Amino acid sequence: MAFYTETLLADSELVAFFLNLGIVGIIISFLIIIFWIYILVDLLKRDFKKDIDKLIWFILLLTTFFFGAVLYYFIVKTNKKKTNKKNNQNK
C-alpha cells in the first residue's frame, strides 16, 4: 500500500509541476515533443551508410530526448541539406 501511495504522490507532484508552468510552459513542452517526434520520424526514414549509425542515433534520441534531437538536427539534417545543395550546383 505504501508503494501505491508514493506513486500517487509522485504523479500528483508531476501534474502540479506542469500546472505551475502555466500555458506558456505547456505550449513549449508540446513544441519540444513535436520536434522530437519529427526528428524520430526523419531518423527512421533516413538511409545511413551503416545500419549501426541509425541504431546509435536511435538510442541517443531515446536516452537524451530533446538534446539528442537538437544534435541530430544540426549534425545530420543540416549536413544533408549542404550535401544536396553541392550536388545541385554540380549538375
- What's the grid cell of residue 78? 543540416
- Output the CA angle 12-5-1, nearest 5 degrees: 160
Q: What is the pTM of this model?
A: 0.65
Q: Read out DSSP for 22-36?
A: HHHHHHHHHHHHHHH
pLDDT tens column, 31-69: 888 999 999 999 999 988 888 999 999 999 999 888 999
Q: Of 27, 33, 35, 31, give the one whose Cα is nearest residue 73.
A: 35
CB-count burial class (<10 Å; 0-12, 13-18, 19+) for 69: buried
Kindly state the average pLDDT of the residues 12-17: 64
Q: What are phi and psi of 46, to 5 degrees?
A: -75, 140
